Structure 1
């Protein structure tokens, strides 16, 4: 799961690495378009995460009809959400970039990148639902394998189209988006074939959990909405933060555009460990395991979470110290901003990893509304207002702005851990 998630986030990192040579303006354009594209993909990941928990408990209970219902409801929701998101971008995307881009050229490049990136949204709508099924059943290698060929395809196609190599047209920023789209659609096709080969599409399983598909879909939506709202809120908060970051000078904005994908990629080790913990908790609850057995499993998972956080911290250290070498073409002011993030990056993984264990365990136990409320409060009552104040009114440095990522985790820490220790999640889903 960790390797698969790193490759998923690596789409943006790869694009940033390949586009960096085109200059700060191209990076700024990709940063704006990536914020909107990330909002769409984040929405799909939100519903896929809910489906994953549903599938995990269905797998633990051993009922094929529950697996069939969970998968097809999750797929229908993903496709509907993806199409609605694409429609919203086509209607409002141009005005958004015109308002927040530094120059008309950056706005035009951002719009061009995003138009091609919409095909990534379509691919991830299908691939996300299928991956959730495999992950919920404990077959996490399948999703990983889909990236083994998708990532090289992304790199080869992107490099060729960005720079006009091997007889391909020179498309610049647009080439990076097309490479991502081609790899995403291929991955969705591969996962679809694997799913059908293993399950036959569940066509031999009659009926639905709640009698009809419509009734099952309504129940799935009711279960999914708090989880989806949590992830969607995070996505919108990150998008709002990026739009606020756009008010910084170009060097500071470029530094954030480069470091945030690395935060996501390296941080997936701790986050996916927590997600895997949530999946296994869901399976154990589906098998009606008791409190002591759940506590023993969770203690082991938590101890390893500390080790994963230490490894993530070390990775951040290497990235911060090596930024000047990785991005040698950048201006000195941009490199200095990247180095200033080092103390924050070293500390961030520990509270973030522990909070993730709490959040995924609580979701698996059905306490999705509490997790949703805590995330939304920390984002919209704390991080976003302070980001706006620091940038628009106090004119603080980019280092202070970046530190809010750590402050947000510290704000959530007591509420998450107190709730987990109360143990209400052990009752499972109702």
Structure 2
């Protein structure tokens, strides 16, 4: 059975790998920006790291919503690509882009009205509060760029061209690192902006990346944008239909992002050393975890394409069997990576306090186990979404986050005053809670019917 559209005689594992490695590469570079910023800022001390952590928790709300709606656009484009309908593809792209821009403009307006009060409440001191305000004022440019860039990335990914977004980040990340390094520390005669320099470097890199993707889209698919007609008769109806499909997915990712940000704000009440340890380890969780998440995302893209061309149920089962074997390998690799990061902490973060280093090492047992249930759950979630079972996936995520992780984090930090290691273990506990509902739903097989052709 051929599992990759346009590539004959491709096995399931190879088809997923061909899509997954550029996704992984791109995601590593995207999350790597945060890791690099945290590393560069760490030389300024724990208070500077706290500024970055507080700002990221607030800005992450908008970035998560952008990624959420873009993920829905990616699934729609993959379905359209499977059917071979250019009007469907154009409709999915422009409807998704419109929604992204509206969401981010509204979000930035709300952020402008509320962020200051949140920062003043949670910052450990006046310097951290002032620096966080300055950081967010510049980081708003990154959010605007990502609203466009994530949608363009979803288009290329949905068409199976995952290498193009990876190439765009290959251009942007060196710019980010170089610009941030120069502007944070005032090298080569540049002004020394401190933590603000990290935001400025990210803004420059995001602008370059979006410009590259937009140029490639116009050169390769400009004729697609000139196609007459809309999927649902009119542009307004197409946007509404896209929004109906996207809302459960956006709610899923939005809930996850908001829950993560709320937990991040709760972490901000920890002692500075413990909060610094959480601020440092969480980007690493994202960076190394992208291997498994990208494998699951690639699986979902191919499932959507296969459903678009009415693939028989037994062939879908065969594809998932091969994809799952690869997911176990990916989880093993992630565990090994986590071990390397934790055990090398005294050398990577040698300038931090010894207690901060010890806290980072204490996370190791949790990190060794986390990739396996998380990766398997991700396969289930992406497959169910591709089959249109988006509401059920939303419920699993929303209830596990808001009935367990967020209240458990609040109780552990604000009332029980538990060790930050126990607080961190709640990430693993959440994945174990989701494991049963996800796998039972997948086994029922209703997702194999696909989505209505609307």
Local SS of the residue matching 1:184: helix
What's the CA shift string for 1:314-372, capped at 9, x where partnerless? Answer: 00000010111101000011111101000000000000000000000000000000000
Whole-angstrom CA distance in 2 between matches of 1:99 and 1:352: 33
**Does structure 2 conserve the Cα–Cα contact (< 8 Å) formed by 1:195 and 1:201?**
no
Aligned to 2:101: 79
User: What are structure 1's unaligned runs of at least 5 residues?
Assistant: none
Whole-angstrom CA distance in 2 between matches of 1:312 and 1:85: 34
Q: CA deviation at 1:229?
A: 0.3
Whole-angstrom CA distance in 1 between matches of 2:277 and 2:223: 46
**Residues 197-208 of structure 1: matches in 2 within 5 Å?**
197-200=219-222, 202-208=224-230
Q: CA deviation at 1:213?
A: 0.2
Aligned to 2:332: 310
Quick one: which of 189, 211, 217 aligns to 1:189? 211
Aligned to 1:156: 178
Runs (4+) off by over 2 Å: 201-204
Aligned to 1:274: 296
Whole-angstrom CA distance in 2 between matches of 1:235 and 1:201: 36
Q: CA deviation at 1:204?
A: 3.0
Aligned to 2:14: none
Q: CA deviation at 1:202?
A: 2.3
**Does structure 1 conserve the Cα–Cα contact (< 8 Å) formed by 2:152 and 2:214?**
yes
Q: CA deviation at 1:246?
A: 1.0
**Residues 14-413 of structure 1: matches in 2 within 5 Å?**
14-200=36-222, 202-413=224-435
Whole-angstrom CA distance in 2 between matches of 1:383 and 1:203: 43
Q: CA deviation at 1:203?
A: 3.5
**Does structure 1 conserve the Cα–Cα contact (< 8 Å) formed by 2:50 and 2:275?**
yes
Whole-angstrom CA distance in 1 between matches of 2:226 and 2:201: 38
Local SS of the residue matching 2:233: coil
Q: CA deviation at 1:252?
A: 0.3
**Does structure 1 conserve the Cα–Cα contact (< 8 Å) formed by 2:33 and 2:177?**
no
Pair 1:320–1:206, CA change in 2 (3 A): same
Whole-angstrom CA distance in 1 between matches of 2:57 and 2:203: 16
Whole-angstrom CA distance in 2 between matches of 1:349 and 1:114: 32
**Does structure 2 conserve the Cα–Cα contact (< 8 Å) formed by 1:131 and 1:191?**
yes
Whole-angstrom CA distance in 2 between matches of 1:86 and 1:397: 35
Task: Check if 1:6 corresponds to 2:24.
Answer: no
Whole-angstrom CA distance in 1 between matches of 2:40 and 2:257: 24
Q: CA deviation at 1:140?
A: 0.3
Local SS of the residue matching 2:425: helix
Whole-angstrom CA distance in 1 between matches of 2:418 and 2:92: 47
Q: CA deviation at 1:201?
A: 5.7
Whole-angstrom CA distance in 2 between matches of 1:36 and 1:397: 24
Whole-angstrom CA distance in 1 between matches of 2:317 and 2:149: 33
Whole-angstrom CA distance in 1 between matches of 2:436 and 2:365: 22
Q: CA deviation at 1:10?
A: 1.3
Pair 1:64–1:173, CA change in 2 (3 A): same
User: What are structure 2's unaligned runs of at least 5 residues?
Assistant: 1-22
Whole-angstrom CA distance in 2 between matches of 1:80 and 1:201: 25
Pair 1:203–1:360, CA change in 2 (3 A): closer
